[in-house]
């Protein structure tokens, strides 16, 4: 089993891998997963969308409705 530091290092490596960010799937995610740290300027959702991840881009387009409690994923 990997220690905590090794998990953090592995997660950091994967979270910065451009090819992974391009293909992360945001389908069927619950609204409660979309907190500010997820969609802020350096958040996972924003980084994926900026690299051409269509699913991330579509979620960002829905954010105003999600934040107002009017949208559904």
Q: Is 4 exposed, middle or buried (0-12, 13-18, 19+ CB in 10 A)?
A: exposed
Task: Evaluate whether residue 59 is within a structural domain.
Answer: yes
Handedness of CA 39, 43, 46, 52 (dihedral sign): negative
Check residue 53 and give its pLDDT.
95
Residue 1 in domain: no
For 22, the domain range is 18-67
**Domain contains 5:** no
Predicted confidence (pLDDT) per residue in 1-20, tens digit: 455 677 677 777 778 899 99
Q: Rounded distance, CA 49 to CA 68, Å?
A: 21
Burial letters for 5-30: b for 16+ Cβ neighbours within 10 Å, e otherwise?
Answer: eeeeeeeeeeeeeeeebeebebeeee
Average per-residue pLDDT for the chain: 79
Total count of domains within the chain: 1
58 lies in some domain: yes
Does some domain include residue 72? no
pLDDT attached to residue 52? 95
């Amino acid at each position: 089993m990997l220690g905590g530091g090794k998990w953090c290092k592995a997660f950091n490596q994967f979270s910065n891998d451009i090819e992974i960010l391009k293909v992360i799937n945001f389908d069927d995610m619950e609204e409660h997963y979309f907190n500010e740290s997820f969609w802020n300027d350096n958040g996972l959702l924003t980084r994926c969308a900026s690299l051409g991840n269509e699913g991330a881009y579509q979620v960002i387009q829905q954010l105003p409705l999600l934040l107002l409690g009017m949208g559904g994923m």
